[in-house]
Amino acid sequence: MQSFQFYNPTRLIFGRGAVERLPEFLGGIRRVLFLYGGGSIKRNGAYEDVTRVLKQAGVEWVEVSGVEPNPRVGTVRRAAAIAREARVEAVLAVGGGSVLDAAKGVAVAAVGEADIWDVVLGRATPEAALPVYAVLTLAATGSEMNKNSVLTNEATKEKYGWSSELVYPRASFLDPAYTLTVPKDQTVYGIVDMMSHIFEQYFHTVENTPVTDRLAEGLLRAIVEAAPKLVERLDDLALRETILLAGTVALNGTLSMGVQGDWATHNIEHAVSALFDIPHAAGLAILFPHWMRHVYRVRPERWANLATRVFGVDPAGKSVDDLALAAIERLEAFWQGLGAPARLREFGITEADVEAIVEKSLARRGPFGHFMTLDADDVRAIVRAAL
């Protein structure tokens, strides 16, 4: 294992009615910025519950709506200006990962001097942030219990992640009932995203990591069992509950203990969504199997484990390479069986776009990926295979 420290200060309040407990964790906070997206929270009960709970607790709020999926830095700046003007003491995000990621940007931009895009690019380091509180309504990103945020600069068509310990949510409220209204496509995207987060951490080259490996495999198994049933029964609260917790654990640091995650596929995907504004996990579902085929020979035994331990492939008579390829095929069939897209061309992306994606994914830091370092030729081959 690699040496590591584990730190996660987010208090997770999980279960039916979780939001009722919001006031307990506000401390002396009397005025918050209430941030949300395009209005789904008005259809799933979250808006009504949050406003009632705030009112009962005597907490004032200023509402800012309109956070877009793939949240934009312009929206963060607009909300931060309102937060400053209104002298709020915290940011309360109610929605999916996009709203939570935007809230993290607002929390920093509302108190610091630096422009938030300079923070995203690492040109400025945040020194303070308003506390972030989150009411999550979509199982996917893990943003509810991590220090990451992904923002898009609409002017330059760039999409990058940034992180700061200052923006771990102070408390996150996860009521599976709010996720009952998530439509089938977003439900599938969430499942693909959380599985991808597990893969980004599971495919590493570190020796002796059985604890972290088995945690990842166990979590994948739970998702693989629940997901096909959930897409058939979107109103099943027990399945929603399982998937909601899975999304959180997939990216709250637990699965990075002692290992070095890869994150190359996320990097390529962010380039694709920066250029074409496609849903994050649509890009992941398409790209991940092709990244896997490109790199699995570095450690095929890790895919062989995925085949036997997660997908239940019988190893009898099969070589490690056979098993590795079987794992990739099973994964593709699994995601497509749920209804995930398989080809970039489904989003109008063609051969003519390949170079722009290659360039964009290498623009910030050059070659990337820890499992195997990808250069322009590698990225080109992966993207072409995914067209």
Specify the residue, 179 or 212, whose C-beta has the smaller distance to ligand NZQ.
179
Residue count, binding to Zn ion (CB under 5 A) = 1
Query: Among ligand NZQ, Zn ion, none, what binds residue 75 when CB lies within 5 to 8 Å by partner kind?
Result: none
CA dist 246 and 203 (Å) reads: 18
> The tokens 């401390």 sit on which residue?
27
How many Cα atoms sit within 13 Å of 132 on the Cβ side?
Answer: 39
CB of 386 to ligand NZQ, least distance (A): 18
Q: How many CB atoms lie within 10 A of CB 328?
A: 19
Q: Which residues have C-beta within 8 Å of that of residue 312, sequence separation ≥ 6?
A: none
Instruction: Confirm or reject binding of residue 182 to ligand NZQ (CB under 6 A).
Output: yes
Specify the residue, 152 or 305, whose C-beta has the smaller distance to ligand NZQ.
152
Instruction: Confirm or reject binding of residue 193 to Zn ion (CB under 5 A).
Output: yes
Q: Which two tokens stand for residue 266?
A: 């996320």
Q: Give the max Cα distance, the chain.
A: 68
CA dist 351 and 282 (Å) reads: 18
Query: Among Zn ion, ligand NZQ, none, what binds residue 37 when CB lies within 5 to 8 Å by partner kind?
Result: ligand NZQ
Q: How many CB atoms lie within 10 A of CB 198?
A: 22
Query: Among Zn ion, ligand NZQ, none, what binds residue 97 when CB lies within 5 to 8 Å by partner kind?
Result: ligand NZQ
**Helix (H) or strand (E) segment spanning residue 324:** helix 320-338
Residue count, binding to ligand NZQ (CB under 6 A) = 35
Instruction: Confirm or reject binding of residue 101 to Zn ion (CB under 5 A).
Output: no
CA dist 106 and 26 (Å) reads: 18
The binder of ligand NZQ chosen from 116, 120, 131, 146 (CB under 6 A): 146
Instruction: Confirm or reject binding of residue 44 to ligand NZQ (CB under 6 A).
Output: yes
Specify the residue, 193 or 241, whose C-beta has the smaller distance to Zn ion.
193
Instruction: Confirm or reject binding of residue 216 to ligand NZQ (CB under 6 A).
Output: no
Query: Among Zn ion, ligand NZQ, none, what binds residue 212 when CB lies within 5 to 8 Å by partner kind?
Result: none
CB of 66 to ligand NZQ, least distance (A): 8
Classify 174 as helix, strand or coil.
Answer: strand
Instruction: Confirm or reject binding of residue 341 to ligand NZQ (CB under 6 A).
Output: no
CB of 147 to ligand NZQ, least distance (A): 8
Specify the residue, 33 or 140, whose C-beta has the smaller distance to ligand NZQ.
140
Answer whether 92's CB lies under 8 Å from 24's CB.
no
Query: Among ligand NZQ, Zn ion, none, what binds residue 245 when CB lies within 5 to 8 Å by partner kind?
Result: none
- The single-letter DSSP state of residue 309 is I
Specify the residue, 271 or 354, whose C-beta has the smaller distance to ligand NZQ.
271
Burial of 298 (0-12, 13-18, 19+ CB in 10 A): exposed
Question: Whose CA is closest to 70, among 129, 153, 133?
Answer: 153
Q: How many CB atoms lie within 10 A of CB 326?
A: 20
CA dist 150 and 105 (Å) reads: 9
Q: Return the range that interacts with ligand NZQ (CB under 6 A); candidates 165-173, 187-195, 220-228, 319-327.
A: 187-195
Contacting positions for Zn ion (CB under 5 A): 193
Contacting positions for ligand NZQ (CB under 6 A): 37-41, 44, 69-70, 95-99, 101, 137-138, 140-143, 146, 148-150, 178-179, 181-182, 186, 189-190, 193, 251, 266, 280
